[in-house]
Amino acid sequence: MLQSINPANGELVKHYESHSAEGIEKIINSVDKTWHHWRNTSFMFRSQLMQNLSSLLKTRKNELATLMAIEMGKVIREGIAEIEKCAWVCDYYATNAESFLENEPIPTEANSSYVAYRPLGTILAIMPWNFPFWQVFRFAAPTLMAGNTAVLKHASNVPGCSLAIEELFREAGFPENVFRSLLIGSKQVAKVIQHKAIKAVSLTGSTPAGKSVAALAGAELKKCVLELGGSDPYLILADADMEIAAKKSAAGRLLNAGQSCIGAKRFIVEEKVYPHFLELFTHEMAAAHFGDPGDENSTIGPLARADLRDELHQQVVDSIEKGAEVIIGGEVPNRKGAYYPPTILENIKPGMPAYEEELFGPVASVIKVKDLQEAVLVANDSVFGLGAAVFTANTKKGENIAEMQLEAGACFVNDFVKSDPRLPFGGIKTSGYGRELSEQGIKEFTNIKTVVVKH
User: Computed from CA positions of residues 400, 406, 412, 416, in that sequence, does the dihedral angle turn out positive or negative?
Assistant: negative
- Residue 86 carries which side chain, given as an amino acid letter? C
CA–CA gap between residue 88 and residue 37 (Å, rounded) = 27
**Backbone torsions φ then ψ of 117, nearest 5 degrees:** -115, 105
The one-digit pLDDT tens for each residue of the chain (455 residues) are 899 999 999 999 999 999 999 999 999 999 999 999 999 999 999 999 999 999 999 999 999 999 999 999 999 999 999 999 999 999 999 999 999 999 999 999 999 999 999 999 999 999 999 999 999 999 999 999 999 999 999 999 999 999 999 999 999 999 999 999 999 999 999 999 999 999 999 999 999 999 999 999 999 999 999 999 999 999 999 999 999 999 999 999 999 999 999 999 999 999 999 999 999 999 999 999 888 999 888 999 999 999 999 999 999 999 999 999 999 999 999 999 999 999 999 999 999 999 999 999 999 999 999 999 999 999 999 999 999 999 999 999 999 999 999 999 999 999 999 999 999 999 999 999 999 999 999 999 999 999 999 99
Residue 348 three-state SS? coil
CA–CA gap between residue 360 and residue 377 (Å, rounded) = 23
What are 136-140's contacts with CB under 8 Å, separation 24+?
136/165, 137/86, 137/89, 137/90, 137/165, 138/86, 138/89, 138/419, 138/421, 138/425, 138/436, 138/437, 138/441, 139/202, 139/204, 139/436, 140/165, 140/169, 140/179
Task: Provide the annotated active-site residues.
Answer: 227, 261
Characterize 359-374 residue by residue with b for buried, 16 or more Cβ atoms within 10 angstroms of its Cβ, and e for exposed: bbbbbbbbbbbeebee
Where helices occur in 4-101 by DSSP H, the ranges are 21-38, 43-59, 61-72, 76-100
| DSSP code for 288 | -
* pLDDT given for residue 149 in this prediction: 99
* pLDDT given for residue 81 in this prediction: 98
